[in-house]
Chain A
């Protein structure tokens, strides 16, 4: 209490001394309720580290329009009730922007977020229909959805076959639970429209046994394989690919394959493998270079330096770049003190923002919280990921249709 009083007095004194305009120096808080101990540990350390590094870098430059940023990280162990506890607790501590980075927990807090009117950030993860800003007023999945990514993968395949998917054999290989099942609808619609030969190959949780699915894929002999999996499942898959004599060149994996997976597969064995990505790959990006120079070279990084070389780190930088940009716009346009509603308006006025090339340019509007849905395809050349295309988005009509259909379903069930 004493220290609080003291710091308040000191803050007041400083404010008076500087005769600054009445910008209260209360930090802008971002609540990261992450699963740091159970299922998502392959990604959360890197993303939270990126968020804290980016915040530290921004704070060095004076914060967001002069306001310091504070990143609050708490573990919820991927348990819905602990995620709710984290949300309720941080909500009362003045956090207005939340990030759960876990599908079960995002689903569990969604009804509360919608009722309370707080910002739920869920870029690249969570329910895809949340890009419908009319229905999900408080949810911001800035960036592409899984549906968008799947559609873009099909678009890429189409360009590789002289702009026709007719008779092209595509195998969809996925982990048989909601994350893997999500793109099926979009893929089927596209295959039907284009006359592609799409076949589904599910493999069961926890994804360690894919042998029978890959044997079937070999019999199908597809031109392309789109794969929805994460973490070690990629390593298992690459072993099965080798065993069945399938070329890794045919494989397009979801954006969640990272450097750890590649190291476990073996950089040479993964050569030719492709992936759809939402963000810039590798550490040769101005923001990351700046973080390395300003923080890690001075021993002030938020974690292990080797993590900055990870795909998930870039994802973290991408997510928080857009969020900080939204808050910046909110402060500039709507003035302090911030409210969730002002931040929402700020996020909805993000226009053509690409975070120095970290992401495809996004334009967020009140109707579209996704911002365009552009991805690109990259190939592993044995040492690094090489972009094969520029940022692009295909089959937007089909993706939008699914979004509308699903969000209408949500609206109906919410009555």
Chain B
């Protein structure tokens, strides 16, 4: 219907390889991008600073994890630890006078270095065993942070992030923080979109499907696994730093604890493996749904005069939220991204639905 393909001719290689060959997709992306850029003027400051900002930061994290989990097919249960390494490295760097722009890259590199060290296990073990060894990374980091005061910042284990300065300009407004997060999110999104059609992306997919089959067709799975871990860890590390400087303003161990790892993992799985739009949906679902559900149920109970106790009000959203996750995954086990794709595929051939069968 909307996604008309008539009149699209691939006359050149570049046109054939375009990211969005269908005009409707291009328009949709343009509108979303315009909305993203104009958001500080379109939405309330509460929405901007407590929903939109964390959502795009966590989306970036989910994209980073999706690279290793969705594309390269390697389990990672310690992604929050990777983000934490980047965050701590960046905060320590800026506190020692390194400019933010350099410190954040250093943070990303530190995360990549440590991520790669742990990824050596990935070359020896697979599947659930790899999941456990990355979980070990998470617990190692938790332990190190809470037992080395030089890292955690003393007995209170809180390290304040210095005021954000980009190119010498102080950034302290909600809009500024939002644009920092948006810029990084766009950068990673564009990278991931291009990954799909690059040789690196295809090599990762080959490794994911069967690593010795990949070796047979000439893909060095050892090398590509390392690359996948390093890239994904770099994205994670920088995202961790962006999270601290744009949202938390102070770094503490529990912001990057094991439950956060599971949460990011849930974003990727609910959103859909190897799906970019799915990462956006997944992050929104996992991150924002509990709060929205909370507000909705409180509102309904106040409207109907149910007089529920504060505890029931607190627990009910979790039950509904859990049920929703199960419901969505039952409807489409491939995640929300696939759900979107189903609709899109249906519209692509509408009204000739039988052509898909």
Which B residues lie within 8 Å of A178 (CB)? 146, 155-157, 253
User: Within residues 357 to 415 of chain A, which ones have a CB less than 8 A from any CB in chain B?
Assistant: 406, 409-410, 413-415
List the interface of chain A (C-beta within 8 A of B): 34, 36-37, 41, 45, 48, 73-75, 77, 79-82, 84-85, 88-89, 92, 103-104, 107-108, 110-112, 127-129, 176-178, 181-182, 184-185, 303, 406, 409-410, 413-415
Tell me if A81 and B252 are in contact (CB < 8 A). no
**Complex contacts, A406 vs chain B, CB 8 Å:** 154-156
For residue A30, give the distance in angstroms from its CB to the closest CB of chain B: 14
> Contact between A415 and B162 (Cβ–Cβ < 8 Å)?
yes
Residues of A within 8 A of B161 (CB): 111
Contacts of B294 in A (CB 8 A): 74-75
**Complex CA distance for A220 and B290, rounded to whole angstroms:** 48
Query: In the complex the two chains form, is B290's CB within 8 Å of A77's CB?
Result: yes
Let me know if A37 and B318 touch, CB within 8 A.
Answer: yes
The smallest beta-carbon distance between A89 and chain B, in angstroms, is: 6
Partner of A85 from B51, B146, B157 at Cβ < 8 Å: B51
Contacting pair B250 A108 (CB below 8 A): yes
- Is A108 a contact partner of B255 (Cβ separation < 8 A)? yes
- List residues of chain A with CB within 8 A of the CB of B46: 88-89, 92
CB of B255 within 8 A of CB of A104, answer: yes
B252 and A85 form a contact (CB under 8 A): no
Interface membership of B220, Cβ < 8 A:
no
B250 touching A181 by the CB < 8 A rule?
Answer: no
Contact of A88 among B50, B311, B317 (CB under 8 A): B50
Q: Does B262 contact A (CB under 8 A)?
A: no
B151 at the interface (CB under 8 A from A): no
- Given known contacts A185-B155, A406-B154, is B309 in contact with A303 (CB within 8 Å)? yes
Q: Which residues of B contact A110 (CB under 8 A)?
A: 158, 250
User: Which among A81, A85, A414 has the highest number of chain B CB atoms within 10 Å?
Assistant: A81
- The answer to whether B255 and A409 touch across the interface, beta carbons within 8 angstroms, is no
Chain B 222-261 interface mask (CB, 8 Å, partner A; 1/0): 0000000000000000000000000111101111000000
CB distance from A104 to the nearest CB of B (A): 4
A34 to B46: give the CA distance in the assembly, Å. 19
Residues of A within 8 A of B153 (CB): 409, 413
Chain A minimum-CB-distance residue to B153: A413
> Complex Cα distance A129/B154, Å?
12
Q: State in angstroms the CA–CA spacing of A74 and B160 once bound together.
A: 26
User: Across the interface, which residues of B come within 8 angstroms of A127, CB to CB?
Assistant: 156, 158
Contact (Cβ within 8 A) A181 B252? no
* Chain B nearest CB, measured from A305 CB (Å): 13
Name the interface residues of B262-289: CB closer than 8 Å to any CB of A: 287
Q: Using Cβ atoms and an 8 Å threshold, which residues of chain B touch A409?
A: 153-154
Say which residue of A45, A104, A410 sits within 8 Å of B252 (CB atoms): A104
A36 and B310 in contact (CB under 8 A), knowing A89-B46, A111-B160?
A: yes
